[in-house]
Amino acid sequence: MHTVFAKTILYLLRRYGSLSTVQIHPKIESIHPDLCDNTIDRVIDGKHFGKKWKHAVRTAQQQLKRNGQVDLQQGRWVIVH
């Protein structure tokens, strides 16, 4: 799932330019409704951390950042050239 989300994030940033995470979420949800189940929460040790798919998007963003493909600048994700 992270790989799919990572590829989608790159696609969205190429298409729309810089985007915040809040802007990325609905775009990913519209492209991958099958992967974005809003009934499943991310729960660790009984604590809820939001929707599981949004956590996966965040993981994909961090992987892309670690790989030097994107960066977070002033709250918006951008492709690093």
Architecture of domain 2-79: Orthogonal Bundle (1.10)
The Cα 37–Cα 68 span in angstroms is 29
Q: What is the pTM of this model?
A: 0.90
**Is-contact 52 37, C-beta < 8 A?**
yes
Question: Among candidates 79, 72, 81, 80, which has minimal Cα distance to 21?
Answer: 72
pLDDT of the residue at 49:
67
CA distance 18 to 66: 18
Token couple for 58 = 């965040």
pLDDT digits (tens, 9 = 90+) for 25-77: 999 999 999 999 988 777 677 776 678 999 999 999 999 999 999 999 999 99
Residue ranges per structural domain of the chain: 2-79
